Amino acid sequence: MALSWNEIKDRAIAFSKEWKDDFNEDAEGKTFMDELFNVFGIQRRRFANFESTVIKRDGKLGFIDLLWKGVVLIEMKSRGKNLDAAYTQATNYFAGLTDEELPKYVLVCDFQNFRLYDLDENTHEDLS
């Protein structure tokens, strides 16, 4: 069942209020992402996986915070961490993905600030 824009807006407001004080990626990152997907009526487990392992550009093992193959890669950070560095980390994972797995979007987030990169359009938006 598709959600109306009003329902998505109401869910987004409730989500932002619930998460306004959280900040720790290790403690709350996965729950945060599950509930973010829920804002849009999406059950994350149906489409995306946590901690996908890949060989990074430098040849070392990496763990993608969240990957919805072909759609979005999410890199979470604790509040106040550098989102530019998070984006670099996210793109270093691309070397370990197949062409079909490469995302159209990269979302980096520190619980308070969101930055969405559209890789096809080579643009990004700060969604804080």
**CB-based contact 94:58 (threshold 8 Å):** no
Between 124 and 20, the more confident residue is 124
Indicate whether 22 pLDDT > 80: no
Q: What percent of the chain has pLDDT over 70?
A: 99
Rounded mean pLDDT of 89-105? Answer: 97
Q: How confident is the model at residue 128 (pLDDT cuts 50, 70, 90)?
A: confident
pLDDT tens-place string over residues 42-79 = 999 999 999 999 999 999 999 999 999 999 999 999 99
Q: How confident is the model at residue 1 (pLDDT cuts 50, 70, 90)?
A: low
Q: How confident is the model at residue 90 (pLDDT cuts 50, 70, 90)?
A: very high
Classify 80 in phi/psi space as left (phi over 0), alpha (psi -120 to 50) or beta. Answer: left
